[in-house]
Amino acid sequence: MKNKSVLSRREFITGSMAASAALSLGVPHLAGEEQRHFKLKYAPTFGMFREHAGDDPIDQIKFIYDAGFRAIFDNNLMTKPMDLQEKIASELVNRNMDLGPFVLYADFSVKSFVTRDPEIRQMLTDLMKQGVETAERVNAKWALVVPGRFDEGLEWDYQTANVVDNLKRCCEILEPAGLVMVLEPLNAWTNHPGLFLTKIPQAYMICKAVNSPSCKIIDDLYHQQIQEGNLIPNIDMAYEEIAAFHLGDNPGRNEPTTGEINYKNIFKHLYNKGYDGVLCMEHGRSIRGIEGETAVIDAYIACDDFEV
């Protein structure tokens, strides 16, 4: 059964083109029609729909909202000028949209969390404070952390203990501010060899050991399909520690329906579990240009079309 609550992208653009006021803004809007939205909070990133919406981040938010999405994410939010961060936050509040995790720390070249190095611990402490400041400025709930590389010269269990200890130190800063750090396991086979955190069960164990509401998991389904598969069972086993998701099909890391992951089943499963967090669309487009942007929206319409 087709989901009647969502416009197809082509219908959406056709209706929008009829609205002269919308055209004057350079962004398609629903010309007097009832606003539509998806069942889950799929979150595009800035630039994903640049061909449709232009380069201005606020216009992109407007387009994303009118396309039916109720969240965005921005890995590079911390690097944006403060005044732009504030404008983005204001626009999201006005539209009642969620902001997914921004990247707080993700240095793939450094042995960081696995060590007891005082200088590295001070660096992490300073970063956590900066992350809190950014989160307060933009009303963010989540910040992404990758624990860095593993140490070939140190017993693995000692490294794990160091990671837990360093995360606890970070949570001492984050928890009073209400900011949740989400740990991202990344695949070692295709994209990121040498990193400490690679699997959902490993991340679950670490979150249990840290034992803080400010230390959770972001489950990147693209990475986990490569690293270990078993996506839905691992979601269920680790669910209480998962705060957000990253999306991308495999192979190719493009929009759903372009690879082997059955995203329609996964989205239905999350919906039935009552998941209300963000699902960050951290992927490319299988087709270039404006047609590729349209194909991304069509893919989410198709995968969101599950019976409830």
CATH of the domain at 130: 3.20.20.150
Q: Which amino acid is at 106?
A: A
Residue 85 placed within a domain: yes
Residue 7 placed within a domain: no
- What's the structural domain count of the chain? 1
- pLDDT at position 100 is 98
Give the confidence band of 8 by pLDDT, cuts at 50, 70, 90: very low
- pLDDT at position 15 is 41
Mean pLDDT for all residues in the chain: 91
Q: Per residue in 78-131, pLDDT tens?
A: 999 999 999 999 999 999 999 999 999 999 999 999 999 999 999 999 999 999
Cα torsion through 218, 65, 292, 24, rounded to 10: -150
Query: What's the whole-model pTM score?
Result: 0.90
Residue 26 placed within a domain: no
Residue 114 is part of which domain span? 40-303
Q: Phi and psi of 139, rounded to 5°?
A: 60, 40
Residue 103 placed within a domain: yes
- pLDDT at position 34 is 58
